[in-house]
Amino acid sequence: MVKISKTYVPKTTEKYMCEKHKVFFKKKLSEWKLEIIKANNEALYNGSMDDNSVSADIVDQASSYTDKNVEMKAINRQIKLISKIEQALKRIQDGTYGYCAETGEPIGLKRLMARPVAELCIAAQEKHEKEEKVYADD
């Protein structure tokens, strides 16, 4: 197992997806996952989610319902993100992390630093988004 310093950042001069890169992204993804879980737990236990006060005012009730709905949508997005993080961690294990799922080309360090769960290179992502837009316009 390769050790990296706390301040280590992958460099383009190193071999792409070398052990140092894998260790860095595994650590980055794992820490991100823990942050999300911690934030969700705090939202569930400390937030308005457990607000059982029943208001006689129908406007207050509607507002409370809307707030809870927004919170639940946010939590659902976070759950999907956790799933993407877990998939990325599996790709690190099986050696496919950092490579485009469509083209097999390297995704690139800059893109992975910005979006560690990225599965597609920029060209494939743009193509995918254009196709989605075409179908959305129908």
* Average pLDDT rounded to a whole number, residues 42-61: 63
CA 117, CA 92: separation in Å to the nearest integer? 11
Tens-place pLDDT, residues 91-127: 999 999 999 999 999 999 999 999 999 999 999 999 9
Note the maximum CA span of the chain: 65
Fold for domain 19-137? Four Helix Bundle (Hemerythrin (Met), subunit A) (1.20.120)
Residue 36 pLDDT more than 70?
A: yes
Closest by CA to 85, choosing from 125, 126, 119, is: 119
pLDDT digits (tens, 9 = 90+) for 23-32: 999 999 999 9
What's the pLDDT band for 76 if we cut at 50, 70, 90?
Answer: confident
Q: Are 121 and 107 in contact (CB under 8 A)?
A: yes
Query: What is the pTM (predicted TM-score) of this model?
Result: 0.77
User: Would you say 66 and 51 are in contact if contact means Cβ atoms under 8 Å apart?
Assistant: no
